[in-house]
Amino acid sequence: MRASVTETVPAVGQRSRRPWSIPVPGVLRAAEAIAFWLVTAPFLALLPAGIGYRAACWRGDWTFRSDPGKRDEITNNLRLVLGEELGGQEAERMTREVFRQRNCWIIDVMRMRGNGRGLGKLVEIRGREHLDAALAGGKGAILCSSHQGSFHSSFSLIHASGYPVTSIGRWWWEFPPGGTSAVVRRMWELVYGRRVDRHRHRPNMAPWPGRWQVAVRAANVLRANEVVTICCDPPPLAEELPRAVEVPFLGGSGRFVPGVVALAQATGAPVLMISIRRLPDYRHQVVEISPPVPMDGETTVAFERCAAAVETVIRAHPAEWDIWYNLEDLIRMGLIPNASQQAATAGARTDQETELQQSSR
Amino acid sequence: METIVNDYLTRELVQDVALLPLGDATSLLETGILHSLSMLRLAVFLRERFGVTVEDADLIPENFDSVDAICAYLRARVGREASHAGVRD
């Protein structure tokens, strides 16, 4: 069951019960973030892995304390979606873990320099036999992931380990489309995109609205018996909503664009789910490739199988799902009602409670 | 050929009934009929029905913006492949 909004929003005048909050002004946080991406993280990636990832966790803890707005947003997101399964303290612990994981992902990308061995030696890729068997079929292979763990680095590592990998995906710094300054885009391309793209067979394919060629290009990559990676859980853009399907997801109903199913059914390429998880030492990771998931039947039914596989991974390692970070993304996915719906739900709940109180009296 | 392509688009890809009947010169890109996934379905149809595989270099608006453009593209591809086959023979 989902928690109600009224349970997660503190009452007016209620003080935060977190003693460790050290709010830092947004400008200072932004300056620190730029310095971390440009200087500190590349330096940490040169140090022994144990030190680098420990420092990343410390920064995660610091951002957890210094950015109470984002922290509360993530905690609320977790509780609104996972509901009563998640107590308040557990949600808070998981929120801190979200911050730690995000900082470890940065170190992962920085360790992809050169041939990627700096990261490769820390990541165990399981299930290669499934990928080999899929490619032996001659129709390519689709590796389908969620926004879970260090998925960008993992796709690059799979390429570095000998498979021709091309990715379908949109970079976050291009959101909203056309709304990011050229300086910001250049910075992200320099510190992130360049490092990841170096280990891909072809340039990234970004399925923005208006890019009507993307799926056919991906089909041609599969026809060349190569590997295409795709995340099946991006929050749909407004333009994509007419093509979205609704499937059971995380105890509710999630909206997704079933591009992976369309691609698989059009090309006959097998879909292998890929899960990524970080071990408790924060240094090591396991990337696991599954056997093919059946893609026959109606689009929605076939997509439900992907969504079920993704949900299993999220429930096992919830803090590693990147989508918790933004309320707006969860609203677009239909996992959290938007503000007006929340208000209506809260109003209906208040009415019900009043009626109950009156009837009990 | 125009009738076959138009029928397919009308039957399978046009979701907004206000766009029907679909004119052969109607822009498929401006009306939103062609997007990434519908283009993929169209490419599969062209391969199965006409034996033409859409290559990356062919993915330009001039080849797919209307029924007329698609048919012109198909004729050019079929003609090109026939002449290549003739050279090989």
Within 10 Å of residue B30's Cβ, how many Cβ atoms? Answer: 11
Contact yes or no for A281/B56 (Cβ under 8 A): no
Q: Which of A11-25, A33-47, A84-98 has the lowest mean pLDDT?
A: A11-25
Mean pLDDT of chain A: 87
DSSP-based helix, strand, coil % in chain B, nearest 5? 65, 0, 35
The helices-and-strands tally (H runs, E runs) of chain B is: 4, 0
Q: CA-to-CA distance for A60 and A223, rounded, in angstroms? A: 42
Pairing of strands A271-278, A285-293: antiparallel
User: What residues of chain B, 16 to 35, have a C-beta less than 8 Å from chain A?
Assistant: 29, 34-35
Tokens of A37: 């991406």
The mean per-residue pLDDT over the stretch A25-29 comes to: 83
Beta bridge partners of B47: none
**DSSP helix/strand/coil, A248:** strand
Q: CA-to-CA distance for A234 and A257, rounded, in angstroms? A: 8
CA angle A23–A45–A197, rounded 5-degree value? 100
pLDDT band at residue B87 using 50, 70 and 90 as cut-offs: low
Architecture of the domain made up of B2-88: Orthogonal Bundle (1.10)
Cα dist from B37 to A140, A144, B64, whole Å: 19, 17, 14
Q: Give residue-wise pLDDT tens across range A38-94.
A: 999 999 999 999 999 999 999 999 999 999 999 999 999 999 999 877 888 899 999
Q: Which residue of B has its CA nearest to A240?
A: B35
Nearest to A217 among B15, B41, B59 (CB): B59
Residues of A in contact with B59 (CB under 8 A): 213, 216-217
Q: Is some CB atom of chain B closer than 8 A to the CB atom of A224? A: no
The phi and psi torsions of A305 (rounded to 5 degrees) equal -70, -40
Q: CA-to-CA distance for A150 and B45, rounded, in angstroms? A: 37
Nearest to B37 among A217, A220, A262 (CB): A262
Task: Kindly provide the b/e burial profile for residues B31-70, where b requires at least 16 CB atoms within 10 angstroms of the residue's own CB.
Answer: ebbbbbbbbbbbbbbbeeebebbbeeebbeeebbbbbebb
Contact yes or no for A289/A127 (Cβ under 8 A): yes
Q: CB–CB of B39 and A213 under 8 A?
A: yes
Q: Is some CB atom of chain B closer than 8 A to the CB atom of A206? A: no
Nearest to A215 among B36, B55, B64 (CB): B36
pTM: 0.86
Q: Is some CB atom of chain B closer than 8 A to the CB atom of A243? A: yes
Burial (0-12, 13-18, 19+ Cβ within 10 Å), A68: middle
Is the peptide bond prior to A203 cis by the omega test (within 30 degrees of 0)?
Answer: no
Q: What CA dihedral angle connects B39, B43, B46 and B51, to 10 degrees?
A: 170
Q: CB–CB of A207 and B36 under 8 A?
A: yes
Q: CB–CB of B35 and A243 under 8 A?
A: yes
Task: Give the CB-side neighbour count of residue A147, counting CA atoms within 13 A.
Answer: 18
The mean per-residue pLDDT over the stretch B10-38 comes to: 91
In one letter, which amino acid is A328?
E
Q: CA-to-CA distance for A143 and A232, rounded, in angstroms? A: 10
Q: Give residue-wise pLDDT tens across range A149-178.
A: 999 999 999 999 999 999 999 888 887 777
Whether A12 has a pLDDT exceeding 70, the answer reads no
Q: Report pLDDT for A213.
A: 94
Q: CA-to-CA distance for A85 and A76, rounded, in angstroms? A: 13
Query: Would the CA dihedral through A16, A19, A24, A30 be positive or negative?
Result: negative
Is the peptide bond prior to A176 cis by the omega test (within 30 degrees of 0)?
Answer: yes
User: Which residue is it, tokens 């709940």?
Assistant: A349
- The ipTM of this complex is 0.89
- Name the residue with higher pLDDT: A11 or A86: A86
Whether A206 has a pLDDT exceeding 50, the answer reads yes
